[in-house]
Structure 1
Amino acid sequence: MTASVKLRGAVIGYGGAFNMGKHHASKMMGSGIDFVAACDLDPARAEQAKQDFPDIRVFTNVSELLAQPDIDLVTVITPHNTHAPLAEQILVSGKHCILEKPMCIRAEDADKLVQLASQRGLMLSVFHNRRWDGWYLTVKDLVNRDLIGDIFHMEMYMGGYSQPGTWWRSSKEISGGMFYDWGAHYIDYLLGLVPGKVQSVRGYIHNRVWHDVTNEDHIESHIQFESGAAAHVEMSSIARAGKAMIRILGTKGAVVVNNIGDSQMTLYSEVNGLKIETSVPCLKENHDAYYHNIADHLYNGAELIVKPEEARRVIAILETTELSALAGKELELPYEISLQEEQAV
């Protein structure tokens, strides 16, 4: 498809949570994709979409939306447990699909979607826009400049001591568990910084305090790579004491990011035998780049940055963390691919 023939996009799920329906629609339009339709089961939210974008069509039935022949791309912004069936419907209808993170809950479903998109020659991607966070872009730059060396250890943390929020933030059936919220971003960060194949995952889960909700209180995931690199990811709603969100150790240097929203991070290195501890300003975030890449991929054949095979790896680690905790032992990662295979997809 060429840029002279405009892509036409739609969203499923115009719910009020963070106003993400409007957000995705605006990002589509900013990248050169016409926003033409929205679907929400709640008539009030469908009407809100019409008020926000008077020229679009609105639906309260997914099948009716997908029956429209003049829609090329559909973004799904619904609860996590609906992602897999909705994505399947979209792909079967012949339309490209973007899923809000996480891709889905089960790795088996993620694999089915990867295969279906490939078979039908359609684009499937996941909204991992956090790849364009300022701190992450900065670390990638430090790695490319060989100021960190080979990363052999990462610690990643998010948490505090507070009762989980309402709706999907507290319901395991809907969300998949507490790891499927920010954990999806953290695992995507990790896999973008540490190359190579994951060898095994060991998970630990606690349900100790918030017994009126079904999501876990505390989750830890220990991830071992074939290279010997290791990562520890911790998410908690019962952590009275916090710590830096990101700590990275490399063979030439180390990085500590106290808060991923900070404007600077700390780099530890050595120059001519002199140990250095210095603040490094973070590059500017560029979240608009996600939809710009989608448009460039569909219009011009540019490489898709957030590939479905990569998103499948994220889901496999999230799910395997829980399965490992239940089994009480390390588990191998299903659907894992090597670095060479990943670069080839």
Structure 2
Amino acid sequence: MNKLKLAAIGYGGMGSYHLEHLLPTEKDLFEIVGIYDIKDDRRTLATQKGLKAYQDRSALLSDPSIDCVLIATPNDSHKEIAIAALEAGKHVVCEKPVAMNAAELREIMAVAEKTGRIFMVHQNRRWDPDFLIVKELWESGEIGDLFQIESRVHGANGIPGDWRRLKQHGGGMLLDWGIHLLDQIMWLVDSPLQSVTADFSYILGEECDDGYITYLTFENGLRVITEVGTSNYIKLPRWYLKGTKGTAEITDWDLSGKMVVATNADVAAPTPIQAGVGLTKTMAPPSEEATETLPLPQGSNLSQSFYQNFFDVVTTGAQPIVKNEQVLKVMELIDHIFEIVEGRK
């Protein structure tokens, strides 16, 4: 089996992560050739690590030995680089978000179709173990039919102090983390969107959103909240799921959490409790016999890693796990969210 020879454009945090952590696990499938980065110190670092450092992008793209290119640069440069790489005959992996908007992705997809090259977006959070637990709960009905999903990522460190603070480069939390949360939901739910409302946070005084919240309603009745915050010193759960037979909570990426499900036992009505200065039976805890606390399921792994799948798509025509049409739907949703929020200004 011949390996695919890969080079990276962009050798910052994500570019180096791909080359030093993700691709080495696929060493039977890929050979890492080298990198190009606009910064001298990153090219020097790559050379010190045994990689070829191209002096400019054209030199990398014109190298006939390279089969595929990884794009790990600021968001506003993705479209230009992707089109140049496809037209140079290279297959392309692009970091998320794929582009600044849906129109740019359509341009890339048109060039990929014209050139016959493979273009795939690294929507890696589809492989997250916490999300795979949610996927199993959605498909298995262990807590009944889900009617509300809450998906949150909270931190207290603000926006990273680089280009992610700058609107011209595609900064802000909707494009940084929202792209993941919305991709997970849109991939999970096989139902058209019925309505979308949203809001942004600018509490830190940056020109880009330092947090956002969306409320999605699907035609099948499912309601979804997605939220990203960067000023949250106390986090809400990563996932909170409400089903017709129970509730599940995944606290964080360490996969702590639980399910509480109804036993359907024939039990007496709850006894009223003191709540503040009044009584309530509605909000009283159910009797011990009425519910059962269970551990979360393990979640089923996807059949292939991202790069295994990319290799098979290129070499055998396999179906991509991350399809461009799916990514386009998410980008159209993000465009709509920007229109909703910025249209209020």
TM tier, smaller: 0.7 to 0.9
Shift of 1:202: 1.7
Summarize the Cα distance change of 1:269–1:114 in structure 2 as closer, same or farther, 3 Å threshold: farther
Q: Report the residue type matching 1:108 in the other structure.
A: A
- Whether contact under 8 Å (1:263, 1:282) holds in the other structure is no
Bigger drift between 12-21 and 81-90 goes to 12-21
> How far 1:241 sits from its partner (Å)?
4.6
Per-residue CA deviation, residues 50-107 of structure 1 (Å, 9 max, x unaligned), is 222x2x4321311221111221111101111111211111112221111111111211
Question: Does structure 1 residue 154 correspond to structure 2 residue 157?
Answer: no
Aligned residues of 2:154 and 2:236 also touching (Cα < 8 A): no
Spell out, residue by residue over 1:174-207, the C-alpha distance to the aligned partner (whole angstroms, 9 max, x if none).
Answer: 2342211121111122123222222332221232
Residue 33 of structure 2: SS of its match in structure 1?
strand
Alpha-carbon spacing, 1:66–1:142, altered in 2? closer, same or farther (3 Å): same
Give the aligned CA root-mean-square deviation in angstroms: 2.6
Answer whether contact 1:265 1:280 (CA < 8 A) is retained.
yes
Q: Aligned residue for 1:186?
A: 181
Equivalent pair of 1:264/1:282 in contact (CA under 8 Å): no
- TM-score calculated relative to the size of structure 1: 0.83
Instruction: Tell me which residue corresponds to 2:92.
Output: 97
SS in 1 for 2:296: strand
Q: Which runs of 5+ in 1 are unaligned?
A: 330-345
Alignment CA distance shift 1:45-1:328 (3 Å): same
Tell me, yes or no, if structure 1 residue 131 matches structure 2 residue 126: yes
Identity %: 28
In the alignment, does 2:272 pair up with 1:269?
no
Do structure 1's residue 197 and structure 2's residue 192 form an aligned pair?
yes
Deviation at 1:121, TM superposition (A): 2.1
Matches of residues 51-62 of structure 1 in structure 2 within 5 Å? Answer: 51-52=48-49, 54=50, 56-62=51-57
Aligned to 1:108: 103
Q: For structure 2, which runs of at least 5 residues remain unmatched after alignment? A: 266-289
Please report the TM-score for the alignment, with normalisation by the length of structure 2.
Answer: 0.83
Distance between the aligned counterparts of 1:119 and 1:148, measured in 2? 46
Larger Rg: 2
User: Is the contact between residue 73 and residue 95 of structure 1 (CA under 8 Å) also seen in structure 2?
Assistant: yes
Cα distance per residue 1:137-193 (max 9 Å; x no partner): 222233333324433321122224443220123222223422111211111221232
Q: How does 1:1-345 map to 2 (within 5 A)?
A: 4-16=1-13, 19-23=16-20, 26-27=23-24, 29-30=26-27, 32-52=29-49, 54=50, 56-207=51-202, 209-211=203-205, 213-239=206-232, 241-259=234-252, 261-273=253-265, 274-280=290-296, 282-283=298-299, 289-328=305-344
Question: What's the CA shift for 1:39?
Answer: 1.0
Contact 2:257–2:295 at 8 Å: present in 1 too? yes
Query: After TM superposition, which residue ranges in structure 1, 4 or more long, deviate above 6 angstroms?
Result: 284-288
Alignment partners' CA distance in 2, 1:17 and 1:116: 25
Give the conservation status (yes or no) of the 8 Å contact 2:260–2:292. Answer: yes
Q: Distance in 2 between matches of 1:94 and 1:24?
A: 26
Structure 2 Cα separation of the partners of residues 287 and 173 of structure 1: 38
CA shift for structure 1 position 118 = 2.5
Cα distance between partner residues in 2 of 1:301 and 1:220: 38
**Aligned pair count?**
321
Q: Is the 8 A contact 1:172 1:178 kept in 2?
A: no
Partner of 1:333: none
Further displaced range: 274-283 or 107-116: 274-283
